[in-house]
Each structure stands twice: as structure tokens, then as C-alpha cells.
Amino acid sequence: MLSSQNANNRKNDKKPVSGSRLTADKPIPYGRQNITEEDIQTVIETLKSDYLTQGPKIAEFETAFAKYVGSKYAVAVSNGTAALHLCAMALNVKEGDKVITTPITFAASANCVRYCGGEVVFADIDPETYLLDITKVRELLEASPKGTYKGIIPVDFAGRAVDLEAFRNLANEYDLWIIEDSCHAPGGYFMDSDANKQHCGNGNFADLAIFSFHPVKHIACGEGGMITTNDEKLYEKLLQLRTHGIVKDEKKYKNTSAFAIGSTVMSGATVMSGTTVRSSAVDVMSSGDETYPNWYMEMQDLGYNYRLTDFQAALGISQLKRADEGLTKRREIAATYEKAFVGKKFIKGQSGVVEGHAYHLYVLEVENRLGLYNYLREHNIFAQIHYIPCHLMPYYRGFGWKEGDMPNAENYYKQCISLPMFPTLTDEEQSFVIERINEFYNV
């Protein structure tokens, strides 16, 4: 059954077009989740357990995910956007801070900067890789006094891993932090200058990395996200911000235990039976070795409720076990597309076969993109466009961004189309997609 929320703009009742050599008797979306019986049983078990949220599945998912990407720490959150927001907060993005990102991404990569009052500065993409072009980033940095920019948010767009070693070197020159938006690339990697595999989100180069568990992504939780890092301080900050800025650790409390117990306040006033009386001999400061009652906690910063539930985490744990299997299938699908389209006249570019690519998307750049898109829809194939350049969204136009600012991204947008790419896409379905595309271009 291929009905899925992922091609949510399609018409579900669409019948296959008669007269075509092959028919898709069910819609083929560009991406979809793969839920097995084991996934379902795991979720059911958690639903029957004591914890629907704030239970043991969260830490279990975090530990398994950190191991998968090779990072020290992981923090599970409610979605990828929340992950980005918390990262920007943890890195202290504030009013007027300039942060560089790519225009070919989902808006959330840029929006997290705006949530904190920062300014988004777009730099163009490399037309070959579709990723943020490091030479454009360097140009921006060189054109302003040091300190103008605070950070960079490169995106492993479509699943292709950014060369973070190169970005780290550049960031170090200008004292910048890096948030790797790896929503498209769990399991992806690039080869570093010593020919070592560097997995997306492993924390070796970026300060923080984020992932999304939306159903079109590699691992589906319904909604869900993860932040990975090797920085202990950032990790602790993220844990706090995920839950309202609340701290539950005696060693970190700012109020005294006397206050916590309910007998003394920090001002030196003693509260008894609802009456406040001044007291001259109250020990008002924390000595570090007092005992706080079990109920006590402190909200020390302004945080959010960005928690993942335990049943979502249970689904994530179960899905993660099959992540490599899914990745292998995605790479096979990519190889088949590449072989089918390489050298074709109507092809202006394609994702191709690239080592370490995690293939969340398989992109073609084509002539007459609108015609192809509509033709595929008529045949029950729901390709998608990723992305409308972020700087030309009306919201960002409002900051002065305009057509012509990012020529590579804008040219890419005019001809890109994302083909069906998900592990349960059958050979027959993929052949159907390829044949319809060739048919459209009369080849």
C-alpha cells in the first residue's frame, strides 16, 4: 500500500492513465516511511509500559543513535526544527548575529537563526554538488571585518555529505561555530584529507549536528529529531533547554536548600506558616553540601518543551536497526537512476553515484521540468521539487533578498526534480518511473 502522507498534495483517487505500457496501480510518492510488524510491536509494548514520555526509551534511542553516527552525545527532541532552534539557542545566537547558510534547503535551516533574532546570510550553492559553496562562504567572510559572522549552517542536502573538514578549517580562521544540518543524511559520510570516513553528525568537525525523523526521512518517528555533539557543555545545555530550561541536579542549584525545603528564602527572610519574618541569622547562600528535597528543581533558563515521546523513541530505535539496510537500498536505487539517465540529452545534471551519499533524494536537473512533473503526476508518480530557494521565500525577500542574488541556486531551482527514492520502491516501480521519463522526452 503506497498511500502516504508524504505526497500529500496528490489526488488519492487518481487512476492510472490508460494506454501506457506499464501502469502504476498505486501512487508512487517521492519518499515514504517503511514500517514493519516489528516496529509496530515495539511501539505497542511502549504504549503498554509505565512511560509514554520522559521514560527509558529516550536514553536508549540517544545512545543507539550516537553510536550509529559516531558521536559522544545525542539529545532526542520533538522534530528537526526544534533541534535547530535548540542548537541556535545553545550557541547563544542573539539579536543581529549573522549566520551563513545555503538557499537550497528546507526553510528551517535558516529559520532557527531568526527564532533567536539573528540575521540569515545566504551564500550560493556549488552547481555540481548542490551544497553550500565554501568559496562563496570564504568570499563573504573576507569581505567583512573578523567577528561579523558568528556561525555557518551547512546542509547535507539530498543526503550528500558536506566536506566539514574544509568548513572547520575555514570556521577556525574566523572563529565561527558550525551546525551541520544532517536531516537528509544519517549514515552518510565524506572522506577526510587522511582518507578516513567521516560520518555525518559524528561531531569531529561541527559543533552540533541535527537530524529529522519525519516519515520521508531515513528513520521515521512520525515527528522527531536528534542533536549530536562531542561537546559536553553544549550537550548539558541542550538537555536543559529541551525541558523548559529546568535543572535537576543538586550541584547546579542556585537557590539554597533551606529555600528548597520551604523554610528560608535567599533574601534572608524566614517563611513560617505563611508569615514572613525577617531573620538576621539565616544561612542564605548555598554551601554546596546541603540536601535538597526530592521534588525540587530549578528553571534556570528560558527553555521549551521539545521532548520526544517514549513511543516515538521506541519506533526510532526499531527503525534505526534497519537504517543500514535502507541505505544500501537507496544506493542501489541511485545507481539504477544514474545508469538510466547518464548521457541523456534532456539531463542537465543529476545526483549521480557519489561515495558516502545517503540519498534522501535523487535529483535530476532537466529541460521542461514543469512538463515532466505534470506528466509524471498523470501517471501516478508524485515527484517533488527540493527546494524553492529559501532566500526567495516572501519572508526572506522581506529582508531584501531578490532574484539574481544566488544565480546557481536559482538556476538549479528552474530545472530540479526529485524522483521517487525510498527503500521499499520496487524494481518494477522504478522501471515504470524511468520509462515514463524517457517516454516524456521521446527517447
Ligand X SMILES: Cc1ncc(COP(=O)(O)O)c(C=O)c1O
Q: Return residues touching ligand X (CB under 6 A).
A: 79-81, 105-106, 108-109, 155, 181, 183-184, 212, 214, 225
Of 239 and 390, which CB lies nearer to ligand X in the complex structure? Answer: 390
**For residues 368 and 354, what is the distance between their CA atoms, to the nearest angstrom?**
26
Of 108 and 327, which CB lies nearer to ligand X in the complex structure? Answer: 108
Of 110 and 258, which CB lies nearer to ligand X in the complex structure? Answer: 110
Give just the sign of the alpha carbon dihedral 262, 265, 268, 269.
negative
As to burial, measured by CB atoms within 10 angstroms (0-12 exposed, 13-18 middle, 19+ buried), residue 101 is: buried
Of 39 and 156, which CB lies nearer to ligand X in the complex structure? Answer: 156
What is the closest distance, in whole angstroms, from the C-beta atom of residue 199 to ligand X in the complex? Answer: 17
Q: How many C-beta atoms lie closer than 10 Å to residue 426's C-beta?
A: 10
- Cis before 387? omega within 30: yes
Of 71 and 105, which CB lies nearer to ligand X in the complex structure? Answer: 105
Q: Which grid cell sits at 285? A: 547562600
Of 28 and 226, which CB lies nearer to ligand X in the complex structure? Answer: 226
Find where cell 509494548 sits: 45
Of 214 and 369, which CB lies nearer to ligand X in the complex structure? Answer: 214
The alpha helices in 155-273, defined as continuous H runs, are: 164-174, 232-242, 257-261
What is the closest distance, in whole angstroms, from the C-beta atom of residue 237 to ligand X in the complex? Answer: 20
Residue nearest to ligand X (CB): 80
Of 171 and 185, which CB lies nearer to ligand X in the complex structure? Answer: 185
Smallest Cα–Cα separation from 101: which of 129, 143, 79, 131? Answer: 131
Q: How many C-beta atoms lie closer than 10 Å to residue 152's C-beta?
A: 29
What is the closest distance, in whole angstroms, from the C-beta atom of residue 314 to ligand X in the complex? Answer: 18
What is the closest distance, in whole angstroms, from the C-beta atom of residue 23 to ligand X in the complex? Answer: 31
What is the closest distance, in whole angstroms, from the C-beta atom of residue 81 to ligand X in the complex? Answer: 3
Write the CB contacts of 371 (distance below 8 Å, at least 6 apart in sequence): 440
Pairing of strands 381-382, 28-29: parallel
What's the gap between Cα 122 and its chain centre?
Answer: 18
Q: Which grid cell sits at 433? A: 518511473
Write the CB contacts of 223 (distance below 8 Å, at least 6 apart in sequence): 78, 79, 213, 214, 312
Contact 205, 164 (CB under 8 A): yes
Q: How many C-beta atoms lie closer than 10 Å to residue 272's C-beta?
A: 11
Smallest Cα–Cα separation from 4: which of 34, 25, 46, 45? Answer: 34
What is the closest distance, in whole angstroms, from the C-beta atom of residue 164 to ligand X in the complex? Answer: 15
What is the closest distance, in whole angstroms, from the C-beta atom of residue 222 to ligand X in the complex? Answer: 10
Of 390 and 437, which CB lies nearer to ligand X in the complex structure? Answer: 390
What is the closest distance, in whole angstroms, from the C-beta atom of residue 157 to ligand X in the complex? Answer: 7
Of 42 and 212, which CB lies nearer to ligand X in the complex structure? Answer: 212
Q: b/e per residue, 207-219, with b = 16+ CB within 10 A? A: bbbbbbbbbbbbb
| H/E segment holding residue 246 | strand 246-247
What is the closest distance, in whole angstroms, from the C-beta atom of residue 111 to ligand X in the complex? Answer: 9
What is the closest distance, in whole angstroms, from the C-beta atom of residue 179 to ligand X in the complex? Answer: 10
